[in-house]
Amino acid sequence: MEHNTNEKTVNIADLLIVLKKCWILMLIVGVVACCCTVTYAFLTYQEEYTAEYSLVVIRNDSSNPGYTSGDYSIDLYMVNDITILLQSPGFLEGVANNLSQNENFTQKQTVSNKSLASAMKVDTYEDSRVITFSVNAKTKEDARIIADTICNEVQKDVQENFGVDRIGVMPGYVSEGPTNSKLSILDFAIPVVLALGVFIIFLVLYISDDKITSPEDVEKHLGLSVLGMIPNVDDAGKVKGRYYSHYKYSGYHKDLAEGKESASK
C-alpha cells in the first residue's frame, strides 16, 4: 500500500477556502489601518510651498561684446559644473548660514545643508544653458527667500571660483497655494499590506495543517478511497444536520444513546 508523499500544493480552490475563512478579519484590519493612517496624515500635515527659479549660463562681460561659438561651448560645459555646485554640501552650507542670519526667514532653527538638499530639486536640459531649480518651504515667503539666497550665492561663487560672470537669473515664481497633498499612496498602501498579511498568516496555517478531517483529506494525503463513515454516537447532539435534517439525525442517535444507557443498567 503506497501513501501519497507528494508535497502539499496550493491551488485556486485552496486560496478561496482561506479567503472565505479570513475575509472578515482582513476587512476589519484594512478599515482600522486605513482610518489610523488617514487620521495620522491629517494630524501631521504641514503645508509646503514651492519656489521655482531658472539660471541661465551666459557671459555677461560688457567689455567684450562679441559672443562666439567658443563662448557657447564654454557655457554648455559650465552648466554641468554649476549643477554640481548647486548640490554640493559646501555650497548648501553657505546658503544655510546666510538664511540663519536673515531676519525675515522663519525656519532658522531647522535649516541646514541636509534640509536644503532634501528640499531642493535641480533640472537641466540637453544642449541648453538653462538650469532650473525648485525649493520647498513651509511658507510662501520662506520659499522665496531660499530661492533668492541660492541665486545670490551661486552668482558669487561662480565669480569667485571660476573668475567669470556667467550667471543670469530668469524670473521665477512661488506657488500661491500648498503644493503637497494631505494623503499619499503610502497611506493607502499600508492598509492593503496589512490585510494581505492577515491572508498570508491564514494561508500558512492552512498549508501547515496536516490533520485529516474529511474524506477529501484522506484521498488527498493517503491516496485511499473512503468506503464509508461511522457516526460518533457521543457527539450526536452536537452535530448540525448537513446531509440530514437535524431532527432525524440527532433523534436517531439520541434513541441509540438511551438504549445503550438502559442496557448498561
Kindly state whether residue 23 falls inside one of the protein's structural domains. yes
137-152 burial string, b = 16+ CB within 10 Å, else e?
A: bbebebbbbbbebbbe
Task: Kindly state whether residues 120 and 100 are assigned to the same domain.
Answer: yes
Task: Kindly state whether residues 126 and 156 are assigned to the same domain.
Answer: yes
Task: Kindly state whether residues 66 and 170 are assigned to the same domain.
Answer: yes
Kindly state whether residue 70 falls inside one of the protein's structural domains. yes
Query: Angle 112-115-118 (CA atoms, 0-180°, nearest 5)?
Result: 150
Task: Kindly state whether residues 62 and 111 are assigned to the same domain.
Answer: yes
Kindly state whether residue 117 falls inside one of the protein's structural domains. yes
What total of structural domains would you count in the chain?
2
Task: Kindly state whether residues 53 and 153 are assigned to the same domain.
Answer: yes
Kindly state whether residue 105 falls inside one of the protein's structural domains. yes
Residue ending a domain, choose from 147, 174, 201: 174
Task: Kindly state whether residues 85 and 162 are assigned to the same domain.
Answer: yes
DSSP for residue 109 = T
| The pLDDT of residue 258 | 53
| The pLDDT of residue 1 | 43
Helix locations, 44-109, DSSP H: 69-86, 89-100
Kindly state whether residue 218 falls inside one of the protein's structural domains. no
Task: Kindly state whether residues 193 and 151 are assigned to the same domain.
Answer: no
CATH, residue 61:
3.30.70.1130
Q: Give pLDDT tens digits along the chain (265 positions).
A: 444 445 567 788 888 988 999 999 999 999 999 999 999 989 988 889 999 999 988 876 644 566 677 777 878 888 888 899 999 999 999 999 999 898 899 888 888 889 898 889 999 988 888 999 999 999 999 999 999 999 999 988 888 887 777 788 888 889 888 888 888 888 889 999 999 999 999 999 888 876 766 666 666 666 667 666 666 655 555 544 444 444 444 444 445 445 555 555 5
Task: Kindly state whether residues 5 and 89 are assigned to the same domain.
Answer: no
The kind and range of the H/E element at 130 are strand 130-137
pTM score, whole prediction:
0.63
Kindly state whether residue 242 falls inside one of the protein's structural domains. no
Kindly state whether residue 238 falls inside one of the protein's structural domains. no
Kindly state whether residue 130 falls inside one of the protein's structural domains. yes
Task: Kindly state whether residues 146 and 170 are assigned to the same domain.
Answer: yes
> What is the SS3 string spanning 143-210?
HHHHHHHHHHHHHHHHHHHHCCCCEEEEEEEECCCCCCCCCCHHHHHHHHHHHHHHHHHHHHHHHHCC
Domain span at residue 40? Answer: 1-45+182-213
Task: Kindly state whether residues 33 and 122 are assigned to the same domain.
Answer: no
The kind and range of the H/E element at 20 are helix 12-43
